[in-house]
């Protein structure tokens, strides 16, 4: 069991015997009553999203999961393929419901994958990742206005809004949760 107040973003819990991952968590104390946590939960198997609010002291059923170090191999039209870096065992995770991760997965890069009862259920992205700019419009003279941005494309196809001084070949740090540009990386 896990206390509702201990459920954080990324925590796995069981609802009606279905594993769910918490994707949003908001602590709310209306000040005039009890305290609550408002959760947004994604069903790992179906991808459907559930919103629920619990009293902080409610007990929820937690899921014991295992994190494995894996290498991302490739994506085809239906699945992501990974290899366990310890056992060299290969496995797939359906793209459906995980489409937004496609452009954060780099061939040959290591990622943690979450297993539940020997089934891979989730890909953990690092909070921040470095990408190389593969396509960017040339900056014009006078492009120094602070706050002005343009959209560039990275090697995985990821599109990111960046400051105007970023050019093709630059390496940039991107927040994988928001998809936002963080900074240029000097190499």
Question: Applying CB under 8 A, which residues contact other proteins?
Answer: 5, 8, 25-36, 38, 50-56, 58
What's the min distance (Å) between Cβ of 30 and other proteins?
6
Q: Which is nearer to other proteins, 5 or 132 (CB)?
A: 5
Token output for 14: 């069981």
Q: Which is nearer to other proteins, 52 or 156 (CB)?
A: 52
Token output for 117: 């009862």
Report the DSSP pairing between strands 36-43 and 49-55.
Answer: antiparallel
Q: Which is nearer to other proteins, 22 or 44 (CB)?
A: 22
What's the min distance (Å) between Cβ of 169 and other proteins?
29
Give the separation between CA 145 and CA 59, rounded to whole angstroms.
Answer: 52
What's the min distance (Å) between Cβ of 32 and other proteins?
5
Q: Which residues share a beta bridge with 110? A: 71
DSSP letters for 80-93: EEEEETTT--EEEE
Token pair 């459906």: residue = 96
What's the min distance (Å) between Cβ of 28 and other proteins?
6
What's the min distance (Å) between Cβ of 119 and other proteins?
25
Q: Which is nearer to other proteins, 5 or 156 (CB)?
A: 5
Distances (CA, A) of 141 to 26, 151, 164, 168, 172: 45, 18, 10, 16, 22
Q: Which is nearer to other proteins, 44 or 136 (CB)?
A: 44
Neighbours of 169 (CB within 10 A): 9
């Amino acid at each position: 069991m896990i206390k509702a107040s201990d459920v954080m973003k990324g925590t796995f819990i069981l609802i009606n015997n279905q594993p769910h991952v918490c994707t949003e968590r908001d602590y709310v104390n209306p000040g005039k009553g009890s305290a609550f946590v408002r959760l947004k939960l994604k069903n790992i198997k179906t991808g459907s999203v559930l919103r629920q609010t619990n009293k902080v002291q409610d007990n929820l059923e937690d899921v014991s999961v295992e994190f494995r170090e894996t290498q991302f191999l490739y994506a085809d039209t239906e699945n992501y393929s990974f290899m366990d870096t310890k056992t060299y065992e290969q496995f797939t995770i359906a793209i459906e419901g995980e489409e937004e991760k496609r452009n954060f997965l780099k061939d040959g890069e290591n990622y943690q994958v979450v297993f539940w009862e020997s089934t891979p259920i989730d890909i953990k992205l690092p909070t921040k990742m470095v990408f190389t700019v593969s396509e960017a419009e040339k900056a014009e003279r006078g492009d120094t206005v602070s706050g002005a941005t343009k959209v560039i494309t990275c090697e995985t196809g990821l599109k990111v809004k960046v400051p105007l001084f970023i050019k093709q070949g630059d390496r940039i740090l991107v927040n994988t949760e928001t998809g936002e540009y963080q900074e240029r990386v000097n190499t």
